[in-house]
Structure 1
Amino acid sequence: MLSLIKLPPVLSIKDVPKVFQEDSIMSGYRPPRSSATDCVLSLFQMTNETLNIWTHFLPTWYFLWKLLSMVFMYSAWQDSYMWPLVVYLISICLYPLASSCAHTFSSMSARARHICFFWDYGGLSFYSLGSAITYSFYVFPDKWINSSFHQYFIPIAVCNSILCTSLACYSRYPHTQSSRLSKALRVVAFAYPYLFDNIPLFYRVFLCTGDGCTHNDTNLLHMYQIALAFLTGFLFATHLPERLAPGSFDYIGHSHQIFHVCAILGTHLQMQAVEQDMLVRRSWLLEHALPVSFGSSAGATILCLLSNVSIIFIFSLPLFLPAASKKKAAK
């Protein structure tokens, strides 16, 4: 069937505008004015984006299956203790889906590329909040439960999510488009929320001693997840291995593909660790911690979603103005 369909051509780096170019990726680019149909068809040919798309699209369905399984297995709508897990599972369905869609349709135009990745960044920042909510209710070490830091943890995480989306979207504007500055802004935008969310976990796993440290078998899963998260960040920041041999990893093996895989594996381990903490610590947490409320779970989630959608709309609006569109197209 596919042999009867004319697939979009594949171009070299010199044939596409700068906004479409990737560091040390020399070939495998899709035409910069592809139609939506061309973008979908490109999923079935080898380009430098093909594996970027599939490494996040396929896990989306696995995480969706986990979400539905959890909801029906534990009757989550009837048990408020389960609400943080549901929020988290929704976030890990949305962020790889947003990423795969962004990579799929980003070659339609320069404007479409920016907007696609605005949604990608919004998905990642929403995931950071989902992680923070589950950490607040299931992962915090015993001795930090109900502390001042614990009480303000979710409100700060909501602010971090909004900041992450704003800073990442801002990094795509023309005056930030030097590769180093743009990359630095995005690294900060995604590293800061992760580091904040994991403060209680870092303390629990690496620093805490004595009573109240929540030592259990889940800590090993958390450690594996942390290692994969730092490897993901390293690959995103360094563009290795393609930077060592430009053109050699254009289709298979470049850093974006590898960090997609590491991110999904890390998320899978995080999901297992959070679920295990939720089950093992349930009786103790229900007795000692504040109960899960609508505001601290679904309410924070809705606020984050509305804020991030508003931010994406604000950053997208100038791209539709005639002057802005002309300037973007020139690049």
Structure 2
Amino acid sequence: MATIVMEKIGRVFISLQQIRQVPRMLTEAAPSMPGTLRDNEVPHYFRERYICTGYRPLDQNWRYYFLSIFQRHNETINVWTHLLAFLVILVKLGQLTETVDFVHDPHSWPLLILILSSLIYSAFSVVAHLLGSKSELYHHVFFFLDYVGVAQYQYGSAIVHFYYAVDESLHRYVHGIFMPLATVLSCLSCLGCCYGKFCNHSLPTWVRKVGQVVPSALAYMWDSSPVAKRLMFWSTTSNDPALIFHFGQVAFFLSCAFFFTCPLLERCLPGRCDFVGQSHQIFHVLLSCCTLCQIHASHLDYVGRRELYSRLHRSGEAALFAGLYAVTLVGCALIVVFMLRKAKKVIDCKAKSK
């Protein structure tokens, strides 16, 4: 017995010794990571207002930018906030598949589109913040992709709000135009954001913000109108469990819209929020909370309001809205192709003039 115990202790000791070697092995296996730069050491189109340090050098190999997810720089928190949100939403999807038949129940398709669009915008945001420092061209490529993610998520929000949250009186007035207009507004939002990024430093900051915020604000007001009407009559439907989560998503969205438009912390503490504390990081966290509230509220509506939405929406309407989602993706993709051509021409002209 003593011999067996000693053998087990010896194995544990060997295992601990091997575990202690892991950090050294990883350090030796990883390539040396270049240090970060100050704002005056990178081109102007990479600089963010009031962020002074933590910029990654340009024109490194792709491995560097992928591995920089573990490096301390001014985009690290932006990457991890939406990466963690992506994983949480993925877990939520796995939980819902246990109770929701996403394959055979067409009424569940709007909920599925919302979740897929949430995963897409989170993933595209991670890619943009992780790889957007490669070069000026790739900066435009990945952030334009990020704006596609935002636009298609707006459509995902519209479809669940119109399908599950709408009441009979509003449905009567907007039935034929709600989703087509949601598609148009999503594409306009994508165009406004892409154009704002394209004119990043040729226009004043407030002009670019207006171009990015106004189309998105219009899309949000239209897409959320069914929820807004339900919240207005909260007192008459106080027993509705979804309303608290709808209120949560609205509150989180308005909060994250504030932090997106106003770099408050960086302005008050310039140079002290280069790694953590940026308004955009807070925007990411609040937007993720908004999305999770929205998914939960939509699931509650899917379960609790089935009699109403089954009566309001014709057979095959869910498939039609899913088709409009594909149209939205195609429209945003065409906008990105158009804007990338314009960006590439400008970049090529600058390269020739050097």
Encode CA deviations 1:3-56: one digit per residue, 9 max, x unaligned.
Answer: 333112111111111100001111111113232111112111110100100111
1:107 pairs, out of 129, 133, 142, with 133
Give the 3 Å change call, closer, same or farther, for CA 287–318 of structure 1 in structure 2: closer
1:63-212 map, 5 Å: 63-71=89-97, 73-145=99-171, 147-174=172-199, 176-206=202-232
TM-superposed deviation, 1:257: 0.7
TM-superposed deviation, 1:86: 1.0
AA partner of residue 324 (structure 1): I
Please, which moves more after superposition, 91-100 or 303-312? 303-312
2:246 pairs, out of 222, 236, 244, with 222
**Bigger-Rg structure (1/2):** 2
* 2:64 matches 1:38: yes
TM-superposed deviation, 1:288: 4.2
AA partner of residue 102 (structure 1): A
Encode CA deviations 1:133-176: one digit per residue, 9 max, x unaligned.
Answer: 1111101134323x121331101000011111111111122475
Please, which moves more after superposition, 214-223 or 265-274? 214-223
8 A Cα contact 2:110 2:318, kept in partner: no
* 2:246 matches 1:258: no
8 A Cα contact 1:111 1:328, kept in partner: no
In structure 1, C-alpha distance between the alignment counterparts of 2:228 and 2:352, rounded to whole Å? 45
Give the 3 Å change call, closer, same or farther, for CA 137–330 of structure 1 in structure 2: farther
In structure 2, C-alpha distance between the alignment counterparts of 1:116 and 1:31, rounded to whole Å? 17
In structure 1, C-alpha distance between the alignment counterparts of 2:351 and 2:152, rounded to whole Å? 28
Aligned residues: 327
TM-superposed deviation, 1:215: 6.3
AA partner of residue 68 (structure 2): S
In structure 2, C-alpha distance between the alignment counterparts of 1:309 and 1:247, rounded to whole Å? 36
Percent identity reads 30
AA partner of residue 24 (structure 1): Y
Q: For structure 2, which runs of at least 5 residues remain unmatched after alignment? A: 1-24
In structure 1, C-alpha distance between the alignment counterparts of 2:312 and 2:215, rounded to whole Å? 34
In structure 2, C-alpha distance between the alignment counterparts of 1:328 and 1:140, rounded to whole Å? 53
In structure 1, C-alpha distance between the alignment counterparts of 2:293 and 2:60, rounded to whole Å? 37
8 A Cα contact 2:137 2:347, kept in partner: no
8 A Cα contact 1:154 1:296, kept in partner: no
TM-superposed deviation, 1:214: 8.7
8 A Cα contact 1:141 1:201, kept in partner: no
8 A Cα contact 1:126 1:305, kept in partner: yes
Give the 3 Å change call, closer, same or farther, for CA 292–218 of structure 1 in structure 2: farther
Aligned position for 2:350: 327
2:49 pairs, out of 14, 23, 26, with 23
Give the 3 Å change call, closer, same or farther, for CA 198–330 of structure 1 in structure 2: farther
8 A Cα contact 1:57 1:100, kept in partner: yes
TM-superposed deviation, 1:209: 7.4
Encode CA deviations 1:267-297: one digit per residue, 9 max, x unaligned.
Answer: 1011111110110111232234434525532
In structure 2, C-alpha distance between the alignment counterparts of 1:284 and 1:236, rounded to whole Å? 36
TM-superposed deviation, 1:73: 3.3
TM-superposed deviation, 1:314: 1.3
SS in 1 for 2:54: strand
AA partner of residue 314 (structure 1): F
Q: For structure 1, which runs of at least 5 residues remain unmatched after alignment? A: none
SS in 2 for 1:41: helix
1:268-287 map, 5 Å: 268-287=292-311
SS in 2 for 1:257: helix
Output the aligned Cα RMSD.
2.2
